[in-house]
């Protein structure tokens, strides 16, 4: 069985995705900088928890779901452990002020490209940026969202599309190469603006797909 590690799994987005994958019958391990916090969060959703490096070592597929402030350090820590594995990056490099969220510049172009630079042996896929942690956390809540999946490695992208499709109400859509990841990450700032204005938990659907 495929094992998925969710690094930063104590955060709402990582924990929510982990819960949905566990519900779909996948083998999930939460990682955190603090293994005891990972274990506590993991217990809440019926999976196991450990340190980020140990989780990445155990897993076949690794999702990096840490805040952007910890992104580079986390990827560096697991770079060897993810060699040859699919590394999914869902990190949104955003900052906040009283006017809301806005994207911050990433020297490599995007968080996903930063991951590719720091873990050059990993098969980096950008995906799961636009999932509402609030909706994910409520397992009774039906989802209705598309997951934009970006990668230069087409087979890795297809595998991550399947990982989206396994969650009811989620659909993976191939949305380009990693050089087009920055705007997908940054679009989360717009979804936050939409959430504020309409008091909702916005996601995205791609129209005209069969």
Let me know: does 149 contact 164? Beta carbons within 8 Å: yes
Binding to a copy of itself by residue 189, rule CB under 8 A? Answer: yes
Report if residue 206 touches a copy of itself, rule: CB under 8 A. yes
Binding mask 90-119 for a copy of itself (x = CB under 8 A): ---------xxxxx----------------
The whole-angstrom separation of Cα 127 and Cα 149 is 5
Q: Which stretch binds a copy of itself (CB under 8 A): 30-38, 49-57, 70-78, 184-192?
A: 184-192
How many angstroms separate the CA atoms of 152 and 109, rounded?
15
Nearer of residues 48 and 201 to a copy of itself, judged by Cβ = 201
Residue among 56, 161, 159, 181 at smallest CA distance from 109: 181
DSSP category for residue 181: -
Q: Considering only residues 45-84, where is the footprint of a copy of itself by CB under 8 A?
A: none
Q: CB of residue 7 vs a copy of itself: minimum separation in angstroms? A: 25
By CB under 8 A, residue 140 contacts a copy of itself = no
Least gap, CB of 124 to a copy of itself (angstroms): 16
Task: Answer for the pair 98, 43: CB distance below 8 angstroms, yes or no.
Answer: no
CA atoms within 13 A on the CB side of 186: 11
Cβ distance to a copy of itself smaller for residue 74 or 188: 188
**Angstrom distance (rounded) from CA 133 to CA 85:** 25
User: What DSSP element (H or E) covers 127?
Assistant: none
3-class DSSP state of 6: strand
Interface residue with a copy of itself among 66, 150, 164, 170 (CB under 8 A) is 150
Q: Of 56 and 136, which has the nearer Cβ to a copy of itself?
A: 136
Helix (H) or strand (E) holding 153: none
Q: Smallest distance, Å, CB 74 to a copy of itself?
A: 24
Length of the chain: 210
Site residues (vs a copy of itself, CB under 8 A): 99-103, 132, 135, 144-145, 148, 150, 173-177, 179-180, 182-184, 186-187, 189-194, 197-198, 200-210
């Amino acid at each position: 069985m495929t094992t998925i590690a969710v690094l930063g799994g104590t955060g709402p987005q990582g924990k929510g995705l982990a819960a949905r994958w566990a519900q779909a019958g996948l083998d999930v391990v939460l990682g955190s900088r603090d293994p005891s916090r990972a274990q506590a969060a993991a217990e809440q959703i019926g999976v196991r928890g450990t340190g980020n490096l140990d989780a990445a070592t155990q897993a076949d597929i690794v999702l990096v779901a840490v805040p952007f402030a910890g992104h580079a350090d986390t990827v560096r820590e697991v770079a060897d452990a993810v060699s040859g594995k699919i590394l999914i990056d869902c990190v949104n490099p955003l900052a906040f002020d009283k006017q809301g969220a806005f994207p911050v510049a990433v020297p490599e172009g995007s968080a996903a490209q930063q991951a590719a630079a720091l873990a050059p042996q990993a098969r980096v896929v950008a995906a799961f940026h636009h999932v509402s942690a609030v909706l994910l956390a409520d397992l009774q809540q039906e989802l209705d969202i598309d997951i934009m999946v970006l990668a230069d490695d087409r087979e890795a992208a297809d595998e991550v599309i399947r990982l989206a499709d396994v969650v009811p109400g989620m659909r993976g859509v191939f949305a380009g190469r990693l050089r087009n990841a920055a705007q997908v990450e940054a679009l989360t700032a717009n979804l936050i603006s939409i959430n504020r204005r309409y008091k909702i938990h916005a996601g995205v659907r791609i129209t005209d797909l069969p």
